[in-house]
C-alpha cells in the first residue's frame, strides 16, 4: 500500500518536534495517557446519554505494557477507538496546526513549547519513538485497522485484527545515543514515576504489571520475582483534592497537561464550593499572551465537567469577556449531562457559578496587585487592554469591579500607578484627576499643554492606549473626583495666569477675532492661553470630544467624517512670537495671515496631527525665510 503524506504544516511541525532539543521527553507518556482518557470519556459519555447501552465501570481502564525484548512501550485503552477514516483524519494532521502561522519558527526549539502552543499531543510520541503503531477498533464497528509511521516520511493504514474496541499505541523506542538512553522508558519504576508525576489524577485506572521481589513461600531469606497487575494512579482528579495536599508544581503540571498554555501560570485559583450550587474549579491566570489572543480565532471559555465527565471544552458562558484570558475548568454535579449550548445561557446553576467565578478572579487579581506588584504589572502589560475594554463595554456596568485594577503611567512617580494611589496623593486644593493623552510617554512629556498642571506640582496620568480616554469618559469620576484632560478648556486651576489670561483676551479681542476669521471653521476659537509657559501655541478642546478621541474615531474603519472635536487655538501672549504677531496685525495683513497659518499648523504638529496642507505650509515657511 502506498504511503500517505502528512499535511504540509504537520510535516514541518513534526520535523521541528523530532529534532527539538528537549529535555522533558518523558511527557510523551502524559500526552498518550491523556488521549486514552479522553477516548474513554467519549465512550463513557455515550453510555450515560444512551439508555440502550450498559457498561460496567470495570470496563474502563488504561494499560501500560513494557516489552524489553522488542523495546516497545504500549499504551492501551478501552475507549471509543477510531475508524479507518478517523485514523486518517486525526493522526494525519497535527491537531490544531491546520491554520497555524509559523511566526517564530526559529524560537521553537523546545518540544514543550511546541506541544503547548500547537496541541500536538499524539505527535510527541515521536520524540522517543522510531516507529509509532496505532491499532484501533471503533466502538460499534467490527473492523480494526493499523496505522503506522516512522515520522516525517508519512504513514500507512492497513486492516488488522483486534478483539475488543479501543486503541493500542505501540512505541518502538529509538536506539540509544551517546547522550540519551531511551531504554530508560522500559524500566517499570521510571514509567511508574512518570505516571505518578503527570497523570495521577486521571479518573480511570492506569494499570501496569509490576514485578516485585517477594519472600519465597516457606522461606525466610529467599526471594523470588512476583508479578502483579496494579493500578498506578490515585484516580482522584486534582480539583477534588484538598488544596493543602497540592503543591504549585501539581497545578503547573495540570496546566501543561491540559495544554492551557505553554507558559507557567502567574496564579492559580482553586475553588471548592458547597451550597445552593456545588462545584469545584481550577482557574489559571496566564503569564504570557497566547499567540492568537488578540485575533478572531481566540475562543474564551472554561472546560465544563458534569460530575467528573467533560461535557464541553470551551464554555464561554463561564467567563466575562474582560477575563477571557483565564484558563481552567469547572466541575459541578448540579449540571445536567445533556445540557446543550442553547440551554447554557439560561441555566440558573451555571449563571451562579459564572458570577461566583468572576468575583474569585477579581479578588485574585486584587491580591496579585497588592502582593506581587512586578508580576501584576507583567500581567497588566499582557492583558490590561482586555480589562479596559471590559470597563468601557456594556455602558460601564463593570466599573466598580474593574476600576481598581487599572494602571496608568504617572508623571511624578515615573511608573505605573493605580487610581487609588493617585487620589491618595492629591493635595487638598486639587480638584481634578489630570491626564494627558499621546502616542507614548516620551511624546506626552513634551506636550506644551501639560506645562501649567505640571508647574503646579500636580500629578498627571499619561494615556498612551487608544482606549484610555474612552474608558475614563465611561468612568466619569473616581472616588468623586472628576477626570480632566490637561488639554481641556477649563483646568480648574485658580491662578494669576487665569486672571491674566482674561485681561489678555480683552486686550487682544480684535486680533483674536481676526485670526479666527482667517482660520474659519478649522478652529472654534482663538484665545490667550492660561496654561502655556514656554511654548508659543497649543490646541485645546471644548466639549465632550477631545482631539485624541477625534483622531481615534477617524482611524476606525467605520469612521464618520463629521466627527470633529471643537479645537481652540491657544496663544501664549507672553511669548516673544506674540509681539511679531501683534505687529503684523497692525501693519501687514498678509503677514498676519501667514503667521496665523504657521502657528495653527505648529499646534497641529505638536498634537500629532497632520498639517492642514503640507504644500501650503512649506511655501509659507519659505516666504518667511525670504
In the structure grid, which three cell numbers stand for residue 582, read together?
501683534
Tell me the closest approach of the beta carbon of residue 339 to ligand ADP, in angstroms.
22
Tell me the closest approach of the beta carbon of residue 277 to ligand ADP, in angstroms.
30
Stretch that binds ligand ADP, among 76-84, 308-316, 420-428, 506-514 (CB under 6 A): 76-84
**CA atoms of 208 and 173, how far apart (whole Å):** 18
Footprint of ligand ADP on 321-340 (CB under 6 A)? none
DSSP E strands in 102-260: the ranges are 129-137, 144-149, 155-160, 166-173, 206-215, 223-231
Stretch that binds ligand ADP, among 72-80, 299-307, 404-412, 441-449 (CB under 6 A): 72-80
In the structure grid, which three cell numbers stand for residue 410, read together?
504617572
> Is 48 among the residues that bind ligand ADP (CB under 6 A)?
no
SS3 content of the chain, % helix, strand, coil (to 5): 45, 20, 35
> Is 119 among the residues that bind ligand ADP (CB under 6 A)?
yes
> Is 468 among the residues that bind ligand ADP (CB under 6 A)?
no
Q: Which residue's CB is nearer to ligand ADP, number 78 or number 529?
A: 78
> What number of CA atoms fall less than 13 Å from residue 279's CA on the CB side?
25
DSSP E strands in 353-437: the ranges are 408-410, 416-417, 433-437
Q: Which residue's CB is nearer to ligand ADP, number 258 or number 360?
A: 258
In the structure grid, which three cell numbers stand for residue 81, read together?
477507538
Footprint of ligand ADP on 24-43 (CB under 6 A)? 35-36, 39
In the structure grid, which three cell numbers stand for residue 194, read together?
512518570
Bridge partners, 540 (sequence order):
568
DSSP E strands in 379-514: the ranges are 408-410, 416-417, 433-437, 460-463, 477-478, 481-485
Closest to 527 measured CA to CA, from 571, 487, 478, 464: 571
> Is 278 among the residues that bind ligand ADP (CB under 6 A)?
no
Q: Which residue's CB is nearer to ligand ADP, number 76 or number 398?
A: 76
Tell me the closest approach of the beta carbon of residue 37 to ligand ADP, in angstroms.
9
Residue of the chain from 6, 22, 72, 77 that contacts ligand ADP (CB under 6 A) = 77
In the structure grid, which three cell numbers stand for residue 619, read together?
511655501
> Is 539 among the residues that bind ligand ADP (CB under 6 A)?
no
Cα–Cα distances in angstroms (integers) from residue 494 to residues 110, 270, 430, in the given order: 62, 53, 10
Stretch that binds ligand ADP, among 78-86, 149-157, 248-256, 547-555 (CB under 6 A): 78-86
DSSP state, residue 174: P
Tell me the closest approach of the beta carbon of residue 42 to ligand ADP, in angstroms.
8
Tell me the closest approach of the beta carbon of residue 119 to ligand ADP, in angstroms.
4
Q: Which residue's CB is nearer to ligand ADP, number 309 or number 500?
A: 309
- Buried (b) or exposed (e) across 450-479, using 16+ Cβ within 10 A? bbbbbeeebbbbbbbebebbbbbebbeebe
Tell me the closest approach of the beta carbon of residue 290 to ligand ADP, in angstroms.
15
Q: Which residue's CB is nearer to ligand ADP, number 62 or number 461?
A: 62
Residue of the chain from 43, 79, 290, 376 that contacts ligand ADP (CB under 6 A) = 79
Q: Which residue's CB is nearer to ligand ADP, number 157 or number 526?
A: 157
Q: Is 131 exposed, middle or buried (0-12, 13-18, 19+ CB in 10 A)?
A: middle
Tell me the closest approach of the beta carbon of residue 167 to ligand ADP, in angstroms.
4
* Strand pairing category for 155-160 and 144-149: antiparallel
Residue of the chain from 111, 116, 121, 261 that contacts ligand ADP (CB under 6 A) = 121
In the structure grid, which three cell numbers stand for residue 510, read together?
480684535
Instruction: Give residue for cell 506644551.
Output: 448
Tell me the closest approach of the beta carbon of residue 365 to ligand ADP, in angstroms.
29
Question: Could you tell me how many residues make up the chain?
Answer: 626
Stretch that binds ligand ADP, among 75-83, 318-326, 458-466, 509-517 (CB under 6 A): 75-83
Tell me the closest approach of the beta carbon of residue 62 to ligand ADP, in angstroms.
9
Q: Is 432 exposed, middle or buried (0-12, 13-18, 19+ CB in 10 A)?
A: buried
Tell me the closest approach of the beta carbon of residue 315 to ligand ADP, in angstroms.
18
**CA atoms of 284 and 625, how far apart (whole Å):** 64
Tell me the closest approach of the beta carbon of residue 36 to ligand ADP, in angstroms.
5
* 66 φ/ψ sector (left φ>0, alpha ψ -120 to 50, else beta): beta
Cα–Cα distances in angstroms (integers) from residue 103 to residues 106, 108, 292, 400, in the given order: 8, 10, 11, 39
Binding-site size for ligand ADP (CB under 6 A) equals: 17
Tell me the closest approach of the beta carbon of residue 35 to ligand ADP, in angstroms.
3
Footprint of ligand ADP on 85-104 (CB under 6 A)? 90-91, 95
Q: Which residue's CB is nearer to ligand ADP, number 35 or number 596?
A: 35
Closest chain position to ligand ADP (CB):
121
- Which is it for the CA torsion 295, 123, 200, 256, positive or negative? negative
Footprint of ligand ADP on 150-189 (CB under 6 A)? 167
**CA atoms of 353 and 272, how far apart (whole Å):** 11
Which residues are at the interface with ligand ADP (CB under 6 A)?
Answer: 35-36, 39, 77, 79-82, 90-91, 95, 119-123, 167
Amino acid at each position: 500500500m502506498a504511503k500517505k503524506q502528512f499535511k504540509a504544516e504537520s510535516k514541518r511541525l513534526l520535523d521541528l518536534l523530532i529534532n527539538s532539543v528537549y529535555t522533558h521527553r518523558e511527557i510523551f507518556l502524559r500526552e498518550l495517557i491523556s488521549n486514552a482518557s479522553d477516548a474513554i470519556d467519549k465512550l463513557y459519555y455515550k453510555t450515560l446519554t444512551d439508555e440502550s447501552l450498559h457498561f460496567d465501570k470495570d470496563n474502563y481502564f488504561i494499560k501500560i505494557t513494557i516489552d524489553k525484548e522488542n523495546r516497545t512501550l504500549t499504551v492501551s485503552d478501552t475507549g471509543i477507538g477510531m475508524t479507518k477514516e478517523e485514523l486518517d483524519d486525526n493522526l494525519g494532521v497535527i491537531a490544531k496546526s491546520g491554520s497555524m502561522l509559523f511566526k517564530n519558527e526559529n524560537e521553537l526549539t523546545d518540544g514543550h513549547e511546541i506541544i503547548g502552543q500547537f496541541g500536538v499531543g499524539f505527535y510527541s510520541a515521536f520524540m522517543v519513538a522510531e516507529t509509532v503503531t496505532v491499532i484501533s477498533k471503533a466502538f460499534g464497528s467490527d473492523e480494526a485497522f493499523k496505522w503506522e509511521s516512522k515520522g516525517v516520511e508519512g504513514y500507512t493504514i492497513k486492516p488488522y485484527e483486534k478483539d475488543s474496541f479501543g486503541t493500542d499505541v505501540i512505541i518502538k523506542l529509538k536506539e540509544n545515543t551517546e547522550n540519551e538512553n531511551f531504554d530508560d522508558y522500559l524500566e517499570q519504576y521510571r514509567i511508574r514515576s512518570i505516571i505518578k508525576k503527570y497523570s495521577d489524577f486521571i479518573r480511570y485506572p492506569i494499570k501496569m504489571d509490576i514485578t516485585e521481589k517477594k519472600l519465597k513461600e516457606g522461606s525466610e531469606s529467599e526471594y523470588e520475582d512476583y508479578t502483579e497487575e496494579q493500578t498506578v494512579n490515585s484516580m482522584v482528579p486534582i480539583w477534588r483534592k484538598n488544596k493543602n495536599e497540592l503543591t504549585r508544581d501539581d497545578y503547573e503540571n495540570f496546566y501543561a497537561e491540559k495544554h492551557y498554555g505553554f507558559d507557567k501560570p502567574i496564579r492559580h485559583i482553586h475553588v471548592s464550593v458547597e451550597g445552593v450550587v456545588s462545584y469545584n474549579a481550577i482557574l489559571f491566570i496566564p503569564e504570557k499572551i497566547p499567540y492568537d489572543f488578540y485575533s478572531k480565532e481566540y475562543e474564551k471559555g472554561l472546560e465544563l465537567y458534569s460530575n467528573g465527565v467533560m461535557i464541553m471544552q470551551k464554555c464561554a458562558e463561564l467567563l466575562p469577556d474582560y477575563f477571557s484570558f483565564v484558563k481552567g475548568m469547572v466541575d459541578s454535579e448540579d449540571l445536567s449531562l445533556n445540557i446543550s449550548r442553547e440551554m447554557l445561557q439560561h441555566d440558573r446553576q451555571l449563571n451562579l457559578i459564572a458570577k461566583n467565578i468572576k468575583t474569585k478572579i477579581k479578588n485574585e487579581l486584587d491580591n496579585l496587585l497588592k502582593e506581587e506588584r512586578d508580576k501584576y504589572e507583567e500581567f497588566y502589560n499582557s492583558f490590561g487592554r482586555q480589562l479596559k475594554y471590559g470597563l468601557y463595554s456594556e455602558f460601564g456596568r463593570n466599573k466598580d469591579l474593574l476600576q481598581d485594577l487599572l494602571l496608568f503611567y504617572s508623571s511624578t512617580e515615573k511608573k505605573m500607578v493605580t487610581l487609588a494611589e493617585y487620589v491618595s496623593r492629591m493635595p487638598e486644593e486639587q480638584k481634578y484627576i489630570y491626564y494627558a493623552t499621546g502616542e507614548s510617554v516620551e511624546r506626552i512629556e513634551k506636550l506644551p499643554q501639560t506645562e501649567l498642571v505640571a508647574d503646579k506640582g500636580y500629578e498627571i496620568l499619561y494615556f498612551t492606549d487608544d482606549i484610555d480616554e474612552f474608558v475614563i469618559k465611561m468612568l466619569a469620576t473616581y472616588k468623586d473626583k472628576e477626570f480632566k484632560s490637561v488639554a481641556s478648556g477649563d483646568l480648574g486651576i485658580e491662578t494669576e495666569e487665569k486672571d491674566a489670561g482674561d485681561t489678555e483676551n480683552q486686550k487682544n479681542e480684535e486680533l483674536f477675532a481676526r485670526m479666527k476669521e482667517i482660520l474659519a471653521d478649522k478652529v472654534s476659537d482663538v484665545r490667550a492661553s492660561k496654561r502655556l509657559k514656554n511654548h508659543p501655541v497649543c490646541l485645546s478642546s471644548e466639549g465632550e470630544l477631545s482631539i485624541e478621541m477625534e483622531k481615534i474615531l477617524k482611524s476606525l474603519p467605520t469612521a464618520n467624517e463629521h466627527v470633529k472635536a471643537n479645537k481652540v487655538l491657544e496663544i501664549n501672549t507672553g511669548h516673544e512670537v506674540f509681539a511679531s504677531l501683534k505687529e503684523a496685525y497692525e501693519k501687514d495683513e498678509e503677514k498676519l495671515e501667514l503667521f496665523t497659518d504657521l502657528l495653527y499648523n505648529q499646534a497641529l504638529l505638536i498634537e500629532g496631527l497632520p498639517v492642514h496642507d503640507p504644500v501650503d505650509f512649506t511655501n509659507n515657511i519659505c516666504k518667511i525665510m525670504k
